[in-house]
Structure 1
Amino acid sequence: MPELPLPAPLSVAPAPHSVLNAVGNTPVLFIDEPFASAPRGFWAKLEGFNPGGIKDRAALHMVGRARDRGQLRPGAPIIESTSGTLGLGLALAGVLHGHPVHLVTDPGMEPIMERMLAAHGAQLHIVDTPHPDGGWQEARRRKVAELLDLHPAAWCPDQYHNPDNVAAYRPLATELSDQLRRIDVLVCAVGTGGHSAGIARGLRETNPALKLVGVDTIGSTIFGQPARPRLMRGLGSSIYPRNVDYPAFTEVHWVAPAEAVWAARRLAERQFATGGWSVGAVALVAGWLARTQPADTRIAAVFPDGPHRYFDTVFNDDYCRTHQLLDGAPPANPDTVDTPTGTEISRWTRCTNVTDPMPANGALAAGAAR
């Protein structure tokens, strides 16, 4: 495969009108109905107001630190696996700093994301067969390794294990502190583990008693469940990302696709601010906490992106009917399990015993997951 032409690097210091100024300082919105009745509710941090979503922060920070350290040379390619949102952030970083961007994805990526990434200049590499042990995610990882061999000067952010992914979210913690002053509970979707770890660490510098609630999808291995094919994208994993800060979590909830769809659609109807799989799952859990925690508990929930990439999935009736995602409201309360590994979970379930399912520096998980 021939190398792409290298664009001229841009200035390190962007102009005052640069798109960089559109990243960060996102608003918060208080949400009660339909999840709770005022004065109960939770505060949603609307990361969909970033150009590409929450991972703009991680992409720009990881690229910036790699450039500072000389790991990413001027004009060198960036190569990474993505289900979409990080890809938008890397495309943004590529445009700003003059790097060609190669993104490895799979057939589950939404058509609108493929078109937008291509429009932003990224070259897509779509794997066509899941790995027999590690599914689509492992197939993507192996394709990344193949491309790195073909492009010796390239750099891979390795978002699942790169500590710069965690550090990127300290400014978001500062924004939340400035906006809400006191935060008792933080609710985050968990995929790479970056934003849950980074925000919680930042907030705990002034509030060590902060409770961190993780939101995962059924079929994800992150918290010890077996890997299964997953419909939801943007949260969950079929590997064990080392950026997940297991000791930081007070509890974890697993949410099923139909439950996330119900919550995302109710948000659209009642609050206008909504999003896709992760937003629906986070809202479901944050709403339950708002109903069940003491009335003066201040809950912050991170909404990673907006609704636009989900018009062909979460907000498409035909798609949802095909996958049996319109079966009515989820139960008012989650099931509860004592340990995350005792039984296979298929619906909204919580566990307050959060442990790292892999030993330190453990091997990657195998499983037929996307």
Structure 2
Amino acid sequence: MPSITLAPAQLLTGATRRAHTPASLVGDTPVLWVGEPFTAAGRGFWAKLEGHNPGGIKDRTALHMVERARDRGDLLPGARIVESSSGTLGLGLALAGIVYGHPVTVVTDPGMEPLVSGLLAAYGADVQTVTEPHPVGGWQQARRDRVAELLSTDPDGWCPDQYHNPDNVSAYAGLGRELVAQLGRIDALAVSVGTGGHSAGIASVLRDFFPSLKVVGVDTTGSTIFGQQAAPRLMRGLGSSIYPRNVDYTLFDEVHWVAAGEAVWAARALARSRYASGGWSVGAVALVARHLAATLPAEARIAAVFPDGPHRYAGTVFDDAWCQERRLLGCEPADAPDEIAHPGERTVTRWTKCETVLDPSPDARTVGTGTASMAGAAR
């Protein structure tokens, strides 16, 4: 590389981070202490701010999945990448496409924020929007069906299949190691669950370092991941209408379901008090981490993963008119969640926790008999 002559002002600022490729901007994200007034006095947690990546947390997995597929020969040079996304992975794949020289098609649905679809187009991605939900699998399955149609007409096309690709898990090992280096000791982890990639990748690394780590999964009401019945879901980025194989149920000590209005309240309260926030996942994770800070011993060190930042949600989570129309304002959560003993006990519609974590997928239910067989081993 050519030598660089520093201006006097640069000499005074110390070392600066330089990136020669866009991929170099991904990772090494900061952690922020979140304390009062968002939490009770003397209590708090550390938030890993993945919104400091160019597109969010899924920049990590998009780059990793593409790199590994190229190494194996599954993704040929210049071949098209086709994937379903509600937004964040799409941005990551657009980044990976630029870095590695691949055209990218992102299949989404009408719920994608205009800001995100505009960014995807600006980054050169082809954005295709399905218009009708699948009668059983909803928008998520409708998007996946469209991906399959596109791949059937492109013999060289490649789909990362983020829900079932084990590379989506291993991509987050670096994030786990960053947390260890930044915090030294971690007693509890609050993490959202959608495809299952970052929850499994981070938690497995942390539990190797800290065998007694408490792992708390954060889901949305209406999601099937942890055994609830599928229902229309407003929140995006967490939850699922299918059963992703990347979810590692053996890692979780408990799961919390959070409703959309509660996530909106938490995201807004967090933004006002700490100038750091995000959308649905961040609001839901922050609410659960706040509860852990209030109920675990004061010396417990809690890490919460914030997958993205607030900017794409200016027209939804942070828009009064949009939220008012959907009755999402004034939904301040209770001081503590409801509790159920089993995920199938009843359908939950507000913040609720369960300490019985089972794999509800049909494949798991066919192995053996009885409740315990659903998980193999429940934590």
- What's the TM-score bracket when you normalise by the shorter of the two chains? over 0.9
Distance 2:206 2:140 in 1: 31
Give yes or no for contact 1:49–1:305 (8 Å, CA) kept in 2: yes
Distance 1:268 1:329 in 2: 15
Deviations 1:256-313 (A, max 9, x none): 0110000000111000010000000000000000001111111000000000110110
Deviations 1:58-84 (A, max 9, x none): 000000000000000000000000000
CA displacement at 1:35 relative to structure 2 = 3.4
Counterparts in 2 of 1:53 and 1:328: CA distance versus 1, 3 Å: same
Give yes or no for contact 1:35–1:288 (8 Å, CA) kept in 2: no
* Aligned counterpart for 1:71 among listed residues 50, 71, 74: 74
In structure 1, give the amino acid aligned to 2:171: A
1:233 aligns with 2:200: no
* Aligned counterpart for 1:214 among listed residues 217, 220, 229: 217
Partner of 1:305: 308
1:147 aligns with 2:150: yes
* Aligned counterpart for 2:200 among listed residues 197, 206, 210: 197
Distance 2:332 2:136 in 1: 34
Distance 1:203 1:133 in 2: 36
Structure 2: which 5+ residue stretches go unaligned? 1-17, 367-379
Kindly report the root-mean-square deviation, in angstroms, between the aligned alpha carbons of the 2 structures. 1.3
* Aligned counterpart for 2:123 among listed residues 104, 120, 139: 120
Size of the aligned set, in residue pairs, is 349
Partner of 2:321: 318
Partner of 2:226: 223
CA displacement at 1:39 relative to structure 2 = 2.6
Deviations 1:168-198 (A, max 9, x none): 0000011000000000101100000000100
Counterparts in 2 of 1:34 and 1:258: CA distance versus 1, 3 Å: farther
CA displacement at 1:21 relative to structure 2 = 1.6
* Aligned counterpart for 1:44 among listed residues 40, 47, 51: 47
Distance 2:245 2:365 in 1: 9
Structure 2 counterpart SS, 1:45: strand
CA displacement at 1:342 relative to structure 2 = 1.1
Give yes or no for contact 1:186–1:300 (8 Å, CA) kept in 2: yes
Alignment of 1:127-206 (within 5 A): 127-206=130-209
* Aligned counterpart for 1:100 among listed residues 95, 100, 103: 103
CA displacement at 1:42 relative to structure 2 = 0.3
CA displacement at 1:38 relative to structure 2 = 3.9
TM-score, normalised with respect to structure 1? 0.93
* Aligned counterpart for 1:347 among listed residues 350, 371, 374: 350
- Higher RCO, 1 vs 2 (CA within 8 Å, ≥6 residues apart): 1
1:21 aligns with 2:21: no
CA displacement at 1:207 relative to structure 2 = 1.1
TM-score, normalised with respect to structure 2? 0.90
Greater Rg by CA: 2
CA displacement at 1:362 relative to structure 2 = 7.7
Structure 1 counterpart SS, 2:163: coil
